[in-house]
Structure 1
Amino acid sequence: MRITCIGGGPAGLYFALLMKQQNPAHQITVLERNKPGDTFGWGVVFSDQTLSAMREADAKTADEILTAFNHWDDIEVHIQGRSLRSGGHGFCGIGRMKLLNILQARCVELGVDLRYEVNVEDDEGLDADLIIACDGLNSRLRQKYAASYQPDIDLRQNRFVWLGTSRLFEAFTFDFQRTEFGWFQAHAYRFDAHTSTFIVEAPDAVWQAAGLEAMSKEDSIAFCEKLFAKVLDGHKLVSNAAHLRGSAQWIRFPRVVCKNWVHHNGRAPVVLMGDAAHTAHFSIGSGTKLAFEDAIALAKDMATHPGDLQAALDHYQATRSIEVLRIQNAARNSTEWFENVERHARLAPEQFAYSLLTRSQRISHENLRLRDASYVAAFEQWLAAQSGVAAAKPVPPMFTPFKLRGLALKNRVVVSPMAQYSCEDGLAGDYHLAHLGARALGGAGLVFAEMTAPSPEGRITPGCPGLYTEAQAAAWRRIVDFVHSHSSAKIAMQLGHSGAKGSTRRGWEGIDQPLESGNWPLISASSQQYLEGLSQVSKAMTRADMDAVRADFCAATERAAAAGFDWLELHCAHGYLLSSFISPLTNRREDEYGGSLANRLRYPLEVFVAMRALWPAERPMSVRISAHDWVAGGTTPEDAVQIAQAFKAAGADLIDVSSGQVSKLEKPVYGRMWQTPFSESIRNRAGIATMAVGAISEADHVNSIIAAGRADLCAIARPHLANPAWTLSEAARIGYAGPQGLDWPRQYHAGKQQMEREFERQRASQAQAGGPSALEQANKALGV
Structure 2
Amino acid sequence: MSALFTSISLGKLTLKNRIIIAPMCQYSAVDGKATDWHLIHLGGLALSGAGMLIIEATAVEAIGRISPADLGLWSDDTEAALAKVLASIRHYSKMPIAIQLAHAGRKASSQTPWDGGQLIAPQDGGWATVAPSAIPHGANDASPLALDSAGLARIKQAFVDAAIRAQRLGIDAIELHAAHGYLLHEFLSPLSNQRDDHYGGSLENRLRFPLEVFDAVKGAISEDVTLGIRISASDWVSGGWDVEQSIVFANKLELRGCAFLHVSSGGVSPLQQIPVVPGYQVEFADRIKKTTSMPIIAVGLITEAEQAEEIVASGQADMIGIARGILYDPHWPWHAAARLGATVDAPKQYWRSQPRDQKALFGETKIGGR
Q: Secondary structure at the match of 1:667?
A: coil
Name the amino acid aligned to 1:705.
I
Number of residue-to-residue matches in the alignment: 359
Among 349, 353, 366, the residue aligned to 1:751: 353
Structure 1 residue 735, shift from structure 2 partner: 5.5
Match in the other structure for 1:573: 179
Aligned match of 1:526: 133
Partner of 1:689: 295
Corresponding residue of 1:562: 168
Distance 2:73 2:34 in 1: 9
Distance of 1:756 and 1:433 partners within structure 2: 30
2:341 alignment counterpart:
736
**What code does the residue aligned with 1:752 have?**
Q
Taking a change above 3 Å as real, the CA distance of residues 635 and 735 of structure 1, as seen in their structure-2 partners, is closer
1:754: Cα distance to partner? 5.4
Matched, 1:397 2:18: no
Give, in angstroms, the shift of residue 448 of structure 1: 0.9
Moved more, 468-477 or 524-533: 468-477
Q: What is aligned with 1:421?
A: 27
Partner of 1:595: 201
Q: Which residue of 2 aligns with 1:722?
A: 328
Q: Distance in 2 between matches of 1:699 and 1:513?
A: 38
3-state secondary structure, aligned to 2:320: strand
Q: Which amino acid is the alignment partner of residue 204 of structure 2?
A: A
Residue identity opposite 1:721 in structure 2:
L
Question: Is the 2:49–2:346 Cα contact (8 Å) retained in structure 1?
Answer: yes
Q: CA deviation at 1:478?
A: 2.5
Deviations 1:157-213 (A, max 9, x none): xxxxxxxxxxxxxxxxxxxxxxxxxxxxxxxxxxxxxxxxxxxxxxxxxxxxxxxxx
Give the equivalent residue in structure 1 for 2:149: 543
Query: In the TM superposition, what are the counterparts of 1:233-312 in structure 2 within 5 Å?
Result: none
**Counterparts of 1:364-763 in structure 2 under 5 Å?**
395-514=1-120, 517-533=124-140, 535-732=141-338, 734=339, 736-738=341-343, 742-753=344-355, 756=358
Letter in 2 for 1:519: G
Check whether the contact 1:675–1:694 (CA below 8 A) recurs between aligned residues.
Answer: yes
Verify the 8 A CA contact 2:167 2:225 in the aligned structure 1.
no
Q: Higher Cα Rg: structure 1 or 2?
A: 1
Letter in 2 for 1:432: H
CA apart distance, 1:666: 0.7
Secondary structure of the structure 1 residue equivalent to 2:83: helix
Q: Using structure 2 for the length normalisation, give the TM-score.
A: 0.94
Are 2:120 and 2:127, in contact at CA under 8 Å, matched by a contact in 1? no
Cα deviations by residue, 1:342-399 (Å, 9 ceiling, x for unpaired): xxxxxxxxxxxxxxxxxxxxxxxxxxxxxxxxxxxxxxxxxxxxxxxxxxxxx21111
Distance between the aligned counterparts of 1:603 and 1:737, measured in 2?
43
Instruction: Give the C-alpha shift of residue 619 in structure 1.
Output: 2.2
Alpha-carbon distance between aligned partners in 2 of 1:630 and 1:726, rounded to the nearest angstrom: 30
Cα deviation for residue 471 of structure 1 reads: 1.9
**Contact 1:682/1:688 (CA < 8 Å) preserved in 2?**
no
How far, CA to CA, are the matches of 2:72 and 2:183 in structure 1?
15
**CA distance in 1 between partners of 2:30 and 2:325 (Å):** 26
Q: Contact between 2:26 and 2:70, CA under 8 Å: does it hold in 1?
A: yes
Unpaired stretches in structure 2, ≥5 consecutive residues: 362-370
1:291-323 Cα shifts (integer Å, max 9, x gaps): xxxxxxxxxxxxxxxxxxxxxxxxxxxxxxxxx
Deviation at residue 570 of structure 1 after TM alignment: 0.5
Answer 1 or 2: which has greater strand percent: 1
Pairwise CA distance, 1:651: 2.2
Match of residue 775 from structure 1: none
Three-state SS of the structure 1 residue aligned to 2:63 is: helix
> In 2, are the aligned partners of 1:456 and 1:468 still within 8 Å (CA)?
yes
DSSP 3-state at the match of 1:558? helix
2:76 maps to a residue whose letter is E
Match of 2:366 in 1: none
Matches within 5 A, 1:10-25: none
Q: Which runs of 5+ in 1 are unaligned?
A: 1-394, 760-784
Change in CA separation of 1:454 and 1:662 when aligned onto 2, cut-off 3 Å: same
**Where does residue 298 of structure 1 map in the other structure?**
none
Question: Identity rate of aligned residues, in percent?
Answer: 38
Cα distance in 2, alignment partners of residues 709 and 553 from structure 1: 33
Please give the secondary structure, in 2, of the residue aligned with 1:753: coil
How many Å separate the matches in 2 of 1:756 and 1:705?
Answer: 25
Question: Alignment partner of 1:433: what SS?
Answer: helix
Within 1, Cα distance between the matches of 2:16 and 2:87?
A: 18
Q: Deviations over 1:74-124 (max 9, x none)?
A: xxxxxxxxxxxxxxxxxxxxxxxxxxxxxxxxxxxxxxxxxxxxxxxxxxx
Alpha-carbon distance in 2 for matches of 1:410, 1:503 = 38
> How far 1:485 sits from its partner (Å)?
2.7
Superimposed CA distance per residue, residues 440-480 of structure 1 (whole angstroms, 9 cap, x where no aligned partner): 10111101110000111000001100001112112222333
Name the aligned partner's letter for residue 295 of structure 2: A
Alignment of 1:8-407 (within 5 A): 395-407=1-13
The one-character-per-residue Cα deviations of 1:580-624 (angstroms, maximum 9, x if unpaired) are 110000000000111111100101111110001112202211111
- Tell whether the 8 Å contact from 2:106 to 2:144 is kept in structure 1 after alignment: yes
Contact (CA 8 Å) 2:306, 2:340: kept in 1 or not? no
> Partners in 1 of 2:309 and 2:74 — Cα distance?
38
**1:513 shift after superposition:** 4.1
For 1:114, the equivalent position in structure 2 comes to: none
By how many angstroms is 1:637 displaced?
1.1
Residue pair 2:5, 2:342 contacting (<8 A) in 1 also: no
- Find the counterpart in structure 2 of residue 319 from structure 1: none
Post-superposition offset of 1:681: 1.1
**Which segment drifts farther, 410-419 or 667-676?**
667-676
* Per-residue deviation, 1:708: 1.0
- Indicate if the aligned counterparts of 1:744 and 1:752 stay in contact, CA closer than 8 A: no
